[in-house]
Structure 1
Amino acid sequence: MIQFLKKQSPGRLITLGFASVILLGAVLLMLPCAANEGVKVTFIDALFTSTSAVCVTGLIAIDTADHFNVFGRTVVALLIQIGGLGVTSVGVGFILMAGKRVGIKGRMMVREAMNMNTSKGMIRLVKSILLMTLCFEAAGAFLSFIVFVQDYPPLQALGISLFHSVAAFNNSGFDILGGLHNLIPYQNNVMLNLITSGLIIFGGLGFLVILDVIKKHSFKKLCLHSKVVITTSVILLAIGTVLLKCTENISWLGAFFQSVSARTAGFSTYPIGTFTSAGLFVLTILMFIGASPGSTGGGIKTTTLFTLLLTAKSAATNQHCLAFHRKISDEVISKAFIVAFLSLLVVSIGTLALCICEPEYSFIQILFEVTSAFGTVGLSTGITPDLGVAGKLILILTMFIGRLGALTITSIWVFKTTSNVRYTEEMITIG
């Protein structure tokens, strides 16, 4: 078994790692000691919950608070934490705590998981990520406690605050308030809205960007990646807020929060099922785009969108693909188009499959649900708990692909090395 694992590529090992954690989580959530008294959790619901937690999605087939006790909720929180940090980073963290040396294979896996171009400084990066996560989640829990303690006993408020902070920073829309209400009871609470939005934004920017900002202190000194991520994120937040305010009868605070949350977090302060088709379509686009590379979020990523738009502009104007006085490489452009195409393909196939299995729901409802699963968002129009076994399995697979990335899933099936043979070029007509 050990020899078999040693022969596998980093991409396959990461995939196996996530799958193993999901199955272990499902088994733990099925245990009688994890459920509330008188509640029985089926395997498909346990698997759905575990997948949603590890893939930091937040889609739920059963309400977390109504079905799971303290032990079950703790398992869900741990699965969210492992999924947000990444199985590889958590594994390396345990190795470091044990005082052992991380081998080349481990460093390569971290590089693969973080989409890095080099293995240099991987261990230092993992240490920084773990410390950063602890600081953000501790601060988030403390500030959230100030809000929740006003409505719950101190001990219960502490548990809710810790769970909420972990879920928010890891861009997972789980809540333990019960009744499938999510954060709707707090839609007018400015403090909780801003705390949650802050955790989501920092979790979605990516660890590399946060570290770059801490080191450089100036936007001009940041690397190109950080500039692209920050610029695109700010523009998307602003556009999303304005469009949601124009399409829905919600406050500016609500529009801003949903614009933030749609970028892979999945919390909602308004019932999404009551949104208009225009509002749902805006949220669908934001969910498909998602967060940024190396973050706790999903989607095709902000850098992919930025590269696609910039490439289209450069092609239309017959200019080089430039950003912030830097040229975008052809390799990055090709990867952006591949990621976008494969992601669109996954969402299209998932939507078609769910339309066949659940014909009673409208197209926009199904498209919204599948995109939410692929972008590891967690927003729902409310149809998830009523889906059949086949529908839930479709969303489980979509969440798994969305968390690992369509490109990673595709690469695990590659068995042959690239051929060095060159062929004669010939033009084809485009457009």
Structure 2
Amino acid sequence: MDFIKRQSPARIIALGFALVILVGSVLLMLPCSVQDGVTVQYIDALYTSTSAVCVTGLVAVDAGDTFTPLGQFFLGGLIQIGGLGVTSVGAGVILAMGKKMRMKERRLVYEAMNLNSAQGVVRFIKKVFWTTVFFEGLGAALSFTVFIRDYPFLKAVGISLFHSVAAFNNSGFDILGNFQNLIPYRDSVMLNLVTCGLIFFGGIGFLVIQEMLAKRFCWRKFSMHAKVVLSVSAALILVGTVLLRLTEPIGWMAAFFHSVSARTAGFSTYPLSEFSQAGLLVLIVLMFIGASPGSTGGGIKTSTFFVLIQGIHSSATNRGEKAFRYSVPADAFRKAAVITLIALGVVLTGTYLVILFEPELPFLDVLFEMVSAFGTVGLSTGITPGLTVGSKLVAILIMYIGRLGPLTIASLWYFSNGERTRYPEGNISIG
């Protein structure tokens, strides 16, 4: 315990996620979790557990054809823990037991949830849980009206609950079987809209949801963060929809669905292996940008993308970085640039390694897979089940990095208390 207490919040969060992943891989290997006649290799159980805890949705084995109802329950639990965050779930358990949270525990939560301070953490956690219950309950009820047409009552209930949990937590898992995802429901307006709604609210972050409720949906009263998240999310969905409709032979509803889903959810209603290279490139960009801070999604985040654009515009026009009548914080661009460069490095390194392990795979398919893993999306062109052990281990590591975030990973090796030596400024030419 003393060893844990001496660690930074970032390391404790990273260790917590790793521990849940390992426990989940064991649970998914239990005989009661696997259907009769099906054999699951440990690497596939570890891959599935990582994908669930990191709310990704990439699958080496089909969840519907491989796991029993109990195994699917374990899988849904891992998705829920991963979406809310290990620290938030742990804090919720502490509160449910009637115990008080110490300052160390409060600091862990506000670090994990990207809060500004540790004040009001307990109240925020309670709101997070009630918000989750509301959206997932509503999503399950609406999804049930669709699934009950094709499945027996209890089966429809189970699929609806699982789908709602997976959608709100931006994890593209399904238990329909045969790796079909939501392709059988491409024409279901209800399921398409419900899924998109769950993905959107899960992806904008709990802070923004709470602010929208507190400010009674009055745009003028929203903070800069909320305005950035909502405006960038809407713009990306709109642009993605138009571009996908122009590049792929699909309808407007399908284009809208994939534009929303590519922002870290990972559901699909059309086989992505049939998409053109232009369509896959659009999805890659959307997956790389991802969701918003404090949400259940991954990627570099909408706010990071916004700050990058503002910084580039400011440099080109020689004007200050301003938006929504606010000035962008002075160090925001540097932080956004660092996050983006680390993310690019992770994706390109992963792509390079997988190409070494799988030289027969097309480059774009491998790049798509690695961006999907980093963005914790779960979309795939269909190469996942056939990957070798080495490639799966690379994907596991990238999913883990994507869920924790590049800066969190980078800070794990931070030991110094700061530099005491200062050097004179040098000259260096840029551009």
Report TM bin, short chain.
over 0.9
**Aligned equivalents of 1:423, 1:70: Cα separation in 2:** 63
Alignment of structure 1 residues 90-105 onto 2, 5 Å = 90-105=89-104
TM score, norm. by length of structure 2: 0.99
In the other structure, the counterpart of 1:208 is 207
2:207 partner amino acid: L
User: Which string of whole-angstrom CA distances, capped at 9 and with x for unpartnered residues, describes residues 242-272 of structure 1?
Assistant: 0000010001000000000000000000000
Over residues 344-384 of structure 1, what are the superposed CA-to-partner deviations in whole Å (9 max), with x where a residue is unaligned? 11001001111111111111000000000000000000000
Paired position in structure 2 for 1:187: 186
Is there any run of 5+ residues in structure 1 with no aligned partner, and where? none
Question: Partners in 2 of 1:418 and 1:334 — Cα distance?
Answer: 18
Structure-1-length-normalised TM-score: 0.99
Q: Are 1:315 and 2:315 matched, yes or no?
A: yes
Deviations 1:49-99 (A, max 9, x none): 000000000000000010000010000000000000000000000000000
Give, in whole Å, the separation in 1 of the partners of 2:369 and 2:348: 12
In structure 1, how many angstroms separate the alpha carbons of the residues matched to 2:194 and 2:80? 18
Give 1:416 deviation, angstroms: 1.1
Paired residues, what number? Answer: 430
Amino acid aligned to 2:302: T
User: How big is the shift at 1:115?
Assistant: 1.7
Q: Paired residue for 1:59?
A: 58
Looking at structure 2, the residues matched to 91 and 420 of structure 1 have their Cα atoms a distance apart, in angstroms, of 38
The AA in structure 1 aligned to 2:351 is: T
Partner residue, 1:17? 16
Name the aligned partner's letter for residue 232 of structure 1: V
Aligned-residue identity in percent: 58
State how 1:145-224 maps to structure 2 within 5 Å: 145-217=144-216, 218-224=218-224
1:301-340 aligned at under 5 Å gives the runs 301-340=301-340
Aligned position for 2:27: 28
Q: Distance in 1 between matches of 2:176 and 2:418?
A: 52
* Superposition map of 1:233-382 within 5 A: 233-382=233-382
Partner of 1:412: 412
* Partners of 1:333 and 1:430 in 2: CA distance: 16
Give the C-alpha shift of residue 187 in structure 1: 0.3
CA distance in 1, matches of 2:246, 2:237: 14
Q: What is the DSSP-based 3-state SS (H/G/I as helix, E as strand, rest coil) of the residue aligned with 2:299?
A: coil
Partner of 1:397: 397
Q: Which amino acid aligns with 1:318?
A: N
Structure 2 counterpart of 1:368, one-letter code: F
Paired with 1:95 and 1:254, the residues of 2 have a C-alpha distance of: 43
**Equivalent residue for 2:106?**
107
Residue 8 of structure 1: aligned partner: 7
Q: Distance in 2 between matches of 1:345 and 1:192?
A: 37
Distance 1:77 1:61 in 2: 16
Q: In the aligned structure 1, how far is the partner of 2:42 from the partner of 2:405?
A: 25
SS of residue paired to 1:330: coil
Q: Distance in 1 between matches of 2:115 and 2:346?
A: 24
**Equivalent residue letter for 1:185:** P
Q: CA deviation at 1:334?
A: 1.4
CA distance in 2, matches of 1:134, 1:186: 25
- Render the CA deviation track for 1:1-27: whole Å, top value 9, x for unaligned: x00000000000000000000000000
- Whether contact under 8 Å (1:32, 1:40) holds in the other structure is no
Q: Tell me if structure 2 keeps the 8 A contact 1:143–1:195.
A: yes
Query: How far apart are the structure 2 equivalents of 1:107 and 1:335?
Result: 24
Question: What residue number does 1:386 align with?
Answer: 386
Q: What is the alpha-carbon distance in structure 2 between the residues aligned to residue 40 and residue 28 of structure 1?
A: 14
Q: Which amino acid aligns with 2:376?
A: T
After TM superposition, give the deviation of residue 337 of structure 1 in Å: 0.8
Equivalent position amino acid for 2:270 in 1: Y
Distance, in Å, in 1 between the alignment partners of 2:340 and 2:325 is 25
- Once the two structures are superposed, residues 371-425 of structure 1 have per-residue CA deviations (whole angstroms, 9 ceiling, x without a partner) of 0000000000000000000011110000000000111011011111112433211
Task: Give unpaired runs (5+ residues) of structure 2.
Answer: none
Measure, in 2, the Cα distance between the counterparts of 1:422 and 1:120: 35
2:273 and 2:186 mapped to 1: Cα distance? 16
The superposition leaves residues 94-140 of structure 1 with CA deviations (integer Å, 9 ceiling, x where unpaired) of 00000001111111111110122311111111111011000000000
Distance 2:112 2:60 in 1: 28
One-letter code aligned to 1:356:
L
Q: CA shift at 1:427, angstroms?
A: 2.3
Return the offset for 1:333: 1.6
Which stretch shifts more, 328-337 or 59-68? 328-337
Look up the SS of the partner of 1:118 in the other structure: coil
Compared with structure 1, are the counterparts of its residues 331 and 420 closer, same or farther at alpha carbon in structure 2 (3 Å cutoff)?
farther
In 2, distance between residues paired with 1:160 and 1:118? 38
How far apart in 2 are the matches of 1:248 and 1:44? 35
Q: Which amino acid aligns with 1:323?
A: A
Counterpart residue identity of residue 279, structure 2? G
Query: SS state of the match for residue 331, structure 2?
Result: helix
Q: Determine the C-alpha separation between the residues in 2 that align with 1:423 and 1:146.
A: 67
Contact 1:299 1:402 in 2 (8 A): yes
Q: Is the 8 Å Cα contact of residues 204 and 295 (structure 1) preserved in structure 2?
A: yes
- Which residue does the alignment assign to 1:40? 39
Instruction: Return the alpha-carbon distance in structure 2 between the equivalents of residues 3 and 199 of structure 1.
Output: 41
1:69–1:403: structure 2 CA closer, same or farther, 3 Å change rule? same
How far apart are the structure 1 equivalents of 2:316 and 2:55? 38
CA RMSD of aligned residues (A): 0.6
Q: Secondary structure at the match of 1:164?
A: helix
Give the deviation of 1:160 after TM superposition.
0.1
Q: CA deviation at 1:331?
A: 1.9
